[in-house]
Amino acid sequence: MSGHSKWSSIKHKKAATDAKRGKLFTRYIREITFAARSGGGDPDMNAGLRHAIDGAKSVNMPADNIKKAIQRGAGELDGVNYEQFTYEGYGPGGVAVLVECLSDNKNRTVGEVRHVFTKYNGNLGENGCVAWMFSKKGMILIEEGVIEEDDLMELVLENGAEDMKNEDGNFIVTAAVEDYDKVVQAVREKEIPTISAEIAMVPSTYIKLQGKQAQSMMKMSEKLEELDDVQDVWSNFDISDEEIEEYEKGA
């Protein structure tokens, strides 16, 4: 698969198994609530809601949490009214960064996001300054060993996937947005566990970072994702295994 950084794979694998699980649950609850409010509470008629539910299931969110989030979004239960927006900017080394947010207080959110950009030698830009470098793709991350590579390859390609790659112990499956649901359904029907399943913003090109710039960009990405109002952070940096190991030593 072209255009998926090693850091992204490690980030999702780590997030699905460590203390960030709580943050992931919060992220998907907001996403489900927003999607249900925007397009209704029936996932069969609301693709955004369906994709949010898929993501929640991929991190083993309890069904009751999903149900209540849908009910809040559909107005059946009281809930916060979130607004969706995206910030764009540049990180160390000129890396392109997209920050997707759901918030009930835009002024608070932009202040927090700007602070992280500034702290790690980045800067916010105008709307559209980097979004053109990214395209939406369905992405499914599966740990190597839960299924034979050839069997998974045959399954996903038969159901519309564009590509599959084995990278650092993970199978990374990509699909066009319009084919994503069918691929996810095929994986679910075979009861293949996933690390993550989501609609991702994939960059057309990558910038290789080293040394201080690599370390600063990884820290910036992580700090942005820790913000309560941030749903996703997408960027076009790539790094070596050695840089990741160095970062994890100091984390």
What does the pLDDT look like over 168-226, one tens digit per residue? 788 999 999 999 999 999 998 999 988 888 888 989 889 999 999 999 999 999 899 88
Confirm whether 83-132+204-238 and 134-203 share one CATH topology.
yes
pLDDT value at residue 59? 77
The CATH architecture one would assign to domain 134-203 is: 2-Layer Sandwich (3.30)
φ, ψ of residue 104 to 5 degrees: the values are -100, 5
pLDDT band, very low/low/confident/very high, at 250 (cuts 50, 70, 90): confident
pLDDT score recorded for residue 37 = 92
Instruction: Give the strand pairing for 96-103 and 123-124.
Output: unpaired
Tokens standing for 183? 């691929």
Q: How far is C-alpha 125 from the chain's CA centre?
A: 21
Domain ranges of the chain: 6-73, 83-132+204-238, 134-203
The β-bridge relationship of strands 237-238 and 207-208 is parallel
CATH number attached to the domain at 6-73: 1.10.10.200
Label residue 8 by pLDDT band (50, 70, 90): low
pTM for this entry: 0.83
> Is the domain covering 83-132+204-238 a CATH 3.30.70.980 domain?
yes
